[in-house]
Amino acid sequence: MPGNEVAVTGLGLVTPGGVGVGPSWTAVLEGRPTAAVDPALEDGPVRISCRVPGFDPDALLGARRAYRLDRFTQFALVAAREAIADAGLDPETWDGARVGVVLGCADGGPETVERQHHVLRDRGAAKVSPLLLPMQLPNMLAGQAAMEFRASGPNLVVATACASGATAIGTARDLLALDRCDIVLAGGSEAMITPLVMAGFAQMGALSRREDDPAGASRPFDADRDGFVAAEGAGVLVLERTADARARGARVRGRIVGYGATADAHHMTSPHPEGAGLEQALRAALADAGAGPADVGHVNAHGTATPLNDLVEARVLSRMLTARPLVTSTKGVTGHLLGAAGAVEAALTVLTLEQGRVPPTANLTRLDPRIDIDVAAAPTDTRADLALSNSCGFGGQNAALAIAAA
Amino acid sequence: MSVRFEQIKEILVNNLKVTPEQVTPEATWEDIELDSLAMVELSLMIEQEFGLEIGDDELLRAPTIGAMVGLMEERSTTA
C-alpha cells in the first residue's frame, strides 16, 4: 500500500538497558547484556531475568497515580510520555479526539493477579482489592494512556503474544491509513516476570538455564543457545501520516512503510518447521511497502535464542533474502520483552537506520553451523535505508514491519 | 486532633497516597479526590488495621473526614 506509509516522529523506551531511549540505545549498541540473577525469583526453577534498572514509579508518575497502576501500565505511560515529548507534541493542546492509542501486551498484569490470589487464598474473597481488575486488565494499558494524555480517539490493546508490540504498530499504521485519527501512540508493554509465569515458561522448556553465567544466557543464533531470558519494559512510537508530519515541520525519525500479519496455523507454541507463516508475513510487509527482498538492507530478527526459533527464522531469512543483509538480534542485550519486544525492536530499528549503526548480537561467539545468515557480532556501520523487524508469538502469530529511514 | 484522626490520616497518606496537607477534618472525599474504588480499599484497611467493620457505602455517606473519624469512634465503643 505505497502512499499509506506513516512517519515515526517520537520514540520512548523503558528497557533493561535503562529508562529512556538514550540509555537503552547505548546498552544495545555496546552489546552489553542485561540478564542477571533475579532475587524475586529466588525459589523458582529459573532465576535469571532482565529487569529495568532504576525504575521509580513514584518519582516518574507521582505516588498517587503510580500505586493504582500495575507495572506494565507504569512502563507504558513513562515510555509514551518520552515519545510524545520527542515528537514535539503537547497533549494539553492537541485535538485529543484525533489521537489514538494502540498498545500490545501478552499478559496484562499477572503481578497484581498473583498478589490478590494470595489474599483470596489466605484471607478470603472479602479482602480482595477492588483494584484487582482495573489494574490487571490488558486493555487498561490503552485506557490509562488515554486518561494520561487526553487521547480520546480509537483506543485498543492487541494480543498476539510476543508479536503484540509489532501488531500494535501495524494496526496503528492501518488506522492512520484509513484516516481514523491523525496521531497514534503505538507500542507494547510487558511486566510478567512473576513466579507463576516463570514457572510456566520453565515447564515449557522455553527459558535459558545458564544460571552460572547469567550475562551469557541470552545468546541468539549462537550454537550454545538454550532458551530465552524473560525481560520487562515498554516501547512506544508516535506515528503520524508522513505528509502530516512533514507539514507540521516534525522531525521524521523513520517511516513504517509496510506491515505483514499472518498466522502459522500449525501449533500452540512451536513455529512452523519451514517458517511458512513468518515468510508469508515478511513477503506481505515488503509487498505492502512496494519493495522486494533485494531492497532489504538490514533485519532486526525476532531472535529469541530458543533453539527452534532461531533455526527456523534463519532458514526463512537465508532462503528469502539472498542479498544477505546484516541481521541482528537485540535480545542478546535486552532479553525477550515478550509483548513489548516488537515495539522496542521497531524503535531500535528506527535508531539503527537513523544512526547508520547496526547493534551487535550480544553473546554470539560461535554461530550455529546450521544457520546461514550474516549476523552482526560487533557494532557495524550501515547505509541501509530499508529494514525488516520480525516478531513471532506463541499461538503462531507473525508480524513483520518494513521500516525505512527518514 | 484525635488519635483516630491521626490513624486515618496515616492510612490516607501512606496507603492511598493523599498529600498530607489535604487531610483535614473538614475535607470531603471530593477534596482529597478519592473515588468509590478507594473507598472499598479504605474500608478494607480500616478493618485490617483497627478491626473495625465500616462498609464503603457508610464511608461514602460520611460528608467529611471528621465525620468518618466520628463513625470510627462510635463503632469502636460499640465493638
| Each residue's pLDDT tens digit, A35-48 | 999 999 999 999 99
Task: Report the pLDDT averaged over residues A351-377.
Answer: 98
Provide the CB-side half-sphere exposure for B34 (13 A, CA): 29
Give me the residues paired with residue A202 across strands: none
pLDDT at A3: 62
Most A CBs within 10 Å, among B19, B41, B43, B45, to test the A interface: B41
The residues of chain A that CATH labels 3.40.47.10 are 6-247, 256-404
If one counts every other C-beta atom within 10 angstroms of the C-beta of residue A162, the result is 28
pLDDT at B78 over 90: no
Selecting from A64, A66, A129 the residue whose C-beta is nearest the C-beta of B41 gives A129
User: pLDDT tens-digit profile of A229-258?
Assistant: 999 999 999 999 999 999 999 999 999 999
User: pLDDT tens-digit profile of A143-176?
Assistant: 999 999 999 999 999 999 999 999 999 999 999 9
If one counts every other C-beta atom within 10 angstroms of the C-beta of residue A177, the result is 15
Q: What are the cell numbers at A75? A: 512502563
Q: CB distance from A125 to chain B under 8 Å? A: no
Average the pLDDT over each of A183-192, A275-284, B53-62 and give the range with the smallest value. B53-62
User: pLDDT tens-digit profile of A48-75?
Assistant: 999 999 999 999 999 999 999 999 999 9
| Cα(A45)–Cα(A198) distance, integer angstroms | 8
| Cα(B75)–Cα(B65) distance, integer angstroms | 15
Interface ipTM: 0.87
Q: A256-404: which CATH architecture?
A: 3-Layer(aba) Sandwich (3.40)
Active site residues of A: 162, 302, 336
| Cα(A49)–Cα(A194) distance, integer angstroms | 10
Predicted confidence band at B2 (pLDDT cuts at 50, 70, 90)? confident
pLDDT at A375: 98
Regarding the domain with residue range A6-247, which homologous superfamily does it belong to in the CATH classification? Thiolase/Chalcone synthase (3.40.47.10)
pLDDT at A126: 93
Q: Please report, for residues A13, A104, A297, B4, the alpha-carbon distance to residue B25 in angstroms, rounded to integers and kept in the order given.
A: 43, 44, 67, 11
Range of the domain at B37: 3-78
pLDDT at B79 over 60: no
Helical segments of A179-252, H only: 195-204, 242-247
Predicted confidence band at A4 (pLDDT cuts at 50, 70, 90)? confident
**SS3 category, A136:** helix
**Can you give the CATH number for the domain in which B57 is found?**
1.10.1200.10
Give me the residues paired with residue A155 across strands: A101
- Which residue type does A231 have? A
Most A CBs within 10 Å, among B19, B31, B37, to test the A interface: B37
Q: Domain total for chain B?
A: 1
Task: Report the pLDDT averaged over residues A102-127.
Answer: 97
Are A233 and A334 spatial neighbours (Cβ–Cβ below 8 Å)? yes
Q: Which of A26, A161, A21, A156 is nearest to A79 (CA)?
A: A21
pLDDT at B1: 61
Furthest C-alpha separation in chain B: 32
Residues of B in contact with A131 (CB under 8 A): 37, 41
pLDDT at A286 over 70: yes
Selecting from B17, B33, B41 the residue whose C-beta is nearest the C-beta of A130 gives B41
pLDDT at A1 over 60: no
Q: CB distance from B37 to chain A under 8 Å? A: yes
Q: CB distance from A63 to chain B under 8 Å? A: yes
Q: CB distance from A131 to chain B under 8 Å? A: yes
Identify the helix (H) or strand (E) that includes residue A376.
Answer: none
pLDDT at A59: 97
Average pLDDT for chain A: 97
Q: CB distance from A67 to chain B under 8 Å? A: yes
Predicted confidence band at B77 (pLDDT cuts at 50, 70, 90)? confident
DSSP state of A126: G
pLDDT at A2: 52
